[in-house]
Amino acid sequence: MTIHIGAAKDDIAPTVLMPGDPYRAKWAAETFLDDARCINQVRGMLGFTGTWHGHPVTIQGSGMGMPSLSIYANELIRDYDAQTLIRIGSCGGMQDHVGIRDVILAMTATTLSTPSRGIFKDLNFAPCADFGLLAAAHHAALAKGTTTHVGGIYSSDVFYDERADLNDQMMRHGILAVEMEAAELYILAARYKRRALAVLTVSDHLITHEALPAEDRERSFGDMVEIALQAAFA
C-alpha cells in the first residue's frame, strides 16, 4: 500500500495499463479482463486487476496531466515493481491525414516541461517508447486492420492551450497528435529501466475541429485496449 494506491503488493500485476479516466479503467477491466476485481479506490482513482488470456493485468487510472501520472507511475514502479506500463487514452489529431477514431502509437513525446524537468537542468532529454512494445503494437494494429499512425506526439502540460503559434510549429514538424501524459511516462520508464508505450485514440482534431460524441468514445477505444494488451504479451 502506498499513499495513493491502496492495493496490497500482490494485487498489482507486472503489466499495467494506464488510462487517465478512472471510469475508463473500470470499463476496460470489465470489458477485456477475466475475473477483474477492484484493487484501488483511493481518491476515487480506480484500479482493477484480472487476467487477459491467462496473463495477469492491472488497469489503473492515472488522472489528467503529467504531475498526476507521475505519482501513479512512480508508485507502480517503485513500490509494486511494475515492469510494463502502457498509457491508453485519447488525443487530439494535429495532421490532415490523421482521422477521428484512428490509433496513434507514440514513438516519441515532445514536451515543454514535465515533473522530471528539474533533474535534467539544461539538457533537452528525448523521451521515447520501448521499441519492442512499439513494434508489437504496430503488428497487432495491422493484423486488426485498424488505421494506425506511428510517430511523434506532443505531451502538453496545459489543456486550455493559448499558444496557437506552438501548435503551428508542432504541425509543421510532423507531430501527429497532442495529449497530456506520455512524455513523463517515457522518462520514468527510461529512469527505472521499464517498458513503456502510449497507445492513443484520436477523439478530436485540432485542424478539422471534429470530435467523437461521448456515447461513441468507449466503442471506439476498444481497438486501442486490444492493441495494448496484444503488444504487452507478444
Strand 84-93 to 195-205 pairing: parallel
Instruction: Indicate if the pLDDT at residue 88 is higher than 90.
Output: yes
Q: What confidence score (pLDDT) does residue 219 get?
A: 67
Residue 217 pLDDT greater than 80, yes or no: no
pLDDT band for position 170 (cuts 50, 70, 90): very high
Q: Which of 130, 204, 216, 223 is catalytic?
A: 204
* SS3 readout for 134-161: HHHHHHHHHHHCCCEEEEEEEECCCCCC
- Which amino acid, one-letter code, is at 215? E
**Threshold 0.85, pTM exceeds:** yes
pLDDT at residue number 122: 86
Q: Quote the pLDDT of residue 161.
A: 80
- Judged against a pLDDT cut of 90, whether residue 36 lies above it is answered with yes
Annotation: binding site for phosphate: 20, 24, 43, 87-90
The pLDDT of residue 121 is 86
Q: What's residue 213's pLDDT?
A: 84
Buried (b) or exposed (e) across 88-98, using 16+ Cβ within 10 A?
bbbbbbbbeeb
* Domains of the chain listed by start with CATH number: 9-232 (3.40.50.1580)
pLDDT tens string 104-115: 999 999 999 898
Instruction: Sort 124 into a burial class: Cβ within 10 Å, 0-12 / 13-18 / 19+.
Output: exposed
Of the chain, the end-to-end C-alpha distance in Å amounts to 30
Is residue 79 annotated as part of the catalytic site, yes or no?
A: no
**pLDDT surpassing 70 at residue 197:** yes
Which residues sit in the known binding site? 4, 20, 24, 43, 87-90, 179-181, 203-204
Contact 128, 186 (CB under 8 A): yes
